[in-house]
Structure 1
């Protein structure tokens, strides 16, 4: 669920879904890394993704487009909303969803990894885990 459009070099299409603010607009992105398709953020001229304890950047990625989305509070012990946006997958086939947390006054977008019982978000060069986060749904 969700429509994605290819982009690169920190750019986002004109109809990209606005996910928040980090000294400028934040958009939802996703990119391939080591056989995973990772959800993350596009902002400040780069695309950032959480992986293996690190914040990684990618030049080529996809951006979520459209405006018919919203964020709802979620905890990994709760059932997923029926209209949750699929943001990617692991190499083993587990679906990854799109998460958002506000941290130090900025909106950070990353992945929900249900088998780990948390969301992981890229921030300040590292991957940070959260048990409480917002999850992206299609309206």
Structure 2
């Protein structure tokens, strides 16, 4: 499925779903979560989490701020960055998780009580992760080839130290976030057990 530049971003022109739960500060959601709505833990900075051996500093012209908060099993704190919408209308949030020595961009799906990453051509499920919290994130159209804007938030890295970023694209009627791998010149998303590649996508930047 090719990139559609006319998609409606999360939080804009949502239909009304009577009785559906609402995410704090966000639009109505499409019906109840299996087992109830997601829990919103107290927002405590990541404790016990293995921090990356680097710190990303935003360019001087970026006035926005962001933080990473440790969470697990589908929980997301208030003000988590809304990165997409699943096939059932449920929200997908921006996260990251460790897997085999890589710190990977992750899509956190409260409806599934986990985060999904991609690794070695497959979708992997992680139950312990960090969630991005910010009011200053934007999404910028990008085409494959490895070019990364300076405002792109560094989300993770490979075990060899290559920076990884968060992107998103339309796939089978969903707006799905995933891993931008610069040396591969593409976006990888987790879908139905597999790692799917896209060359046209949006990349997450600090506003």
Report the TM-score, using the length of structure 2 for normalisation: 0.64
Q: How does 1:9-88 map to 2 (within 5 A)?
A: 9-22=73-86, 23-43=89-109, 44=111, 45-77=113-145, 79-88=147-156
Give a deviation string over 1:93-114, Cα, whole Å, max 9, x none. Answer: 0000101011111121111111
Q: Which stretches of structure 1, 4 residues or more, deviate above 4 A after TM superposition?
A: none
1:127 and 2:191 equivalent?
A: no
Q: Cα offset for 1:77?
A: 2.7
Picking from 185, 189, 201, the partner of 1:117 is: 185
Give the whole-Å Cα distance in 2 for the aligned partners of 1:21 and 1:76.
22
Q: Cα offset for 1:78?
A: 6.4
Q: Cα offset for 1:40?
A: 1.6
Q: Is the 2:73–2:114 Cα contact (8 Å) retained in structure 1? A: yes
Unaligned stretches of 5+ residues in structure 1: none
| Rg larger for | 2
Q: Is the 2:139–2:204 Cα contact (8 Å) retained in structure 1? A: yes
Structure 1 or 2: more strand by fraction: 1
Give the whole-Å Cα distance in 1 for the aligned partners of 2:69 and 2:179.
18
Which stretch shifts more, 70-79 or 35-44?
Answer: 70-79
Which stretch shifts more, 49-58 or 68-77?
Answer: 68-77
What is the aligned-residue RMSD (CA, Å)? 1.2
Q: Cα offset for 1:20?
A: 2.0
Give the whole-Å Cα distance in 1 for the aligned partners of 2:170 and 2:144.
18
